[in-house]
């Protein structure tokens, strides 16, 4: 049977001599056998080495693929964690104050630093009731006239207010207003549910432009905007209720002081 070097066992044996036939091996035969053994060992060693190297290379290649997969997964988890942190921080900040102005500042901070919005406005109904018109409480790098016009004329804003959901433009804003400026790229209705269980829009956030290096709104940005839609409304309602209560308490205190006098 042929061995791995292609020679038969019989062929590897030295040819028999009179001495070997008698059970003896000459020095020449031993030397030839030894030389052949060295050659075989050398070949064996090389081939075994090559196989080992190949095996290790295959292992390294497999580990590289596994490592790359783990790195991708790790980065994905880091991004998920960052998205959760964004939501947590947004929620925490929105409810950190009972001042309407502070609530608007928190929304501004979230939109600029976490979402990457550059031009936007925040509008809230100035008083109780669903028919009270929106009043601008903050305009960031957008003039008031354009912001005010978008509240009633921009189709994206109208759709968001009608549907009660965040609407993000799927294509670059092309809607032109009277001043030639493009329309909104996202609208966030600030939704609230009244005592009768009916939902209404307390206000709206309109985003006109993102920072130059921010190409588009990602899924996690959509989540933050949705959270703003719900939590910003309750934060404003809480702040307004607190302000009303505070005014009443002060009036009562003044009355009490007058009565005491």
According to the 3-state scheme, what is the secondary structure of the chain? CECCCCCEHHHHCCCCCHHHHCCCCCHHHHHHHHHHHHHHHHHHHHHHHHHHHHHHHHHHHHHHHHHHHHHHHHHHHHHHHHHHHHHHHHHHHHCCCCCHHHHHHHHHHHHHHHHCEEEEEEEEECCCCCCCCEEEEEEECCCHHHHHHHHHHCHHHHHHHHHCCCEECCCCCCCCCCCCCCCCCEEEEEEEECCCCCEEEEEEEEEEEECCCCCCCCHHHHHHHHHHHHHHHHHHHHHHHHHHHHHHHHHHHHHHHHHHC
Q: Which of 104, 116, 146, 227 binds another protein (CB under 8 A)?
A: 116
- Using rule CB under 8 A, residue 89 touches another protein: yes
Positions 118 through 137 that interact with another protein (CB under 8 A): 118
Choose between 64 and 247: whose C-beta lies nearer to another protein. 64
Nearest in space to 100 (alpha carbons), one of 238, 254, 247: 238
Q: Which of 2, 180, 195, 213 binds another protein (CB under 8 A)?
A: 213
CB of 219 to another protein, least distance (A): 14
| Cα(176)–Cα(149) distance, integer angstroms | 11
- Using rule CB under 8 A, residue 82 touches another protein: yes
- Using rule CB under 8 A, residue 81 touches another protein: yes
Stretch that binds another protein, among 24-32, 38-46, 108-116, 155-163 (CB under 8 A): 108-116
Q: Which of 88, 199, 244, 255 binds another protein (CB under 8 A)?
A: 88
CB of 108 to another protein, least distance (A): 9
Choose between 53 and 78: whose C-beta lies nearer to another protein. 78
| Cα(65)–Cα(13) distance, integer angstroms | 48
Choose between 30 and 96: whose C-beta lies nearer to another protein. 96
Using a 10 angstrom Cβ sphere, with 0-12 exposed, 13-18 middle and 19 or more buried, the burial of residue 28 is: exposed
Q: Which of 79, 130, 247, 250 binds another protein (CB under 8 A)?
A: 79
Size of the residue set binding another protein (CB under 8 A): 26
Positions 36 through 75 that interact with another protein (CB under 8 A): 75
Choose between 40 and 102: whose C-beta lies nearer to another protein. 102
Q: Which of 12, 57, 58, 92 binds another protein (CB under 8 A)?
A: 92
Q: Which of 103, 104, 106, 150 binds another protein (CB under 8 A)?
A: 106
| Cα(82)–Cα(115) distance, integer angstroms | 12
Q: Which of 85, 199, 241, 245 binds another protein (CB under 8 A)?
A: 85
CB of 3 to another protein, least distance (A): 49
- Using rule CB under 8 A, residue 86 touches another protein: yes
| Residues forming the site for another protein (CB under 8 A) | 75, 78-79, 81-82, 85-86, 88-90, 92-93, 96, 106, 109-110, 112-116, 118, 211-214
């Amino acid at each position: 049977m042929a061995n791995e070097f292609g020679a038969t066992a019989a062929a590897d044996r030295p040819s028999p001599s009179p001495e070997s036939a008698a059970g003896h091996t000459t020095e020449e035969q031993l030397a030839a056998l030894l030389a052949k053994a060295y050659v075989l060992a050398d070949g064996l060693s090389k081939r075994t080495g090559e196989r080992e190297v190949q095996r290790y290379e295959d292992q390294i290649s497999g580990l590289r693929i596994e490592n790359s997969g783990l790195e991708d997964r790790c980065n994905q988890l880091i991004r998920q964690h960052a998205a959760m942190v964004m939501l947590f921080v947004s929620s925490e900040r929105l409810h950190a104050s009972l001042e309407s102005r502070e609530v608007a500042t928190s929304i501004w901070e979230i939109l600029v630093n976490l979402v990457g919005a550059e031009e936007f406005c925040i509008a809230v109904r100035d008083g109780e009731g669903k028919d009270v018109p929106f009043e601008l409480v903050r305009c960031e790098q957008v003039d008031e006239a354009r912001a005010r016009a978008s509240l009633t004329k921009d189709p994206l804003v109208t759709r968001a207010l009608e549907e009660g959901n965040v609407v993000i433009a799927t294509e670059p804003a092309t809607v032109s207003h009277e001043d030639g400026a493009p329309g909104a790229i996202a609208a966030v209705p600030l939704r609230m549910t009244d005592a009768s269980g009916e939902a209404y829009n307390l206000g709206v956030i309109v985003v006109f432009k993102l920072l130059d290096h921010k190409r588009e709104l990602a899924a996690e940005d959509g989540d933050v905007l949705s959270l703003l839609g719900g939590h910003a409304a309750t934060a404003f309602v809480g702040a307004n209720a607190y302000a009303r209560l505070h005014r009443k308490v002060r009036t009562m205190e003044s009355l009490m002081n007058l009565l005491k006098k």
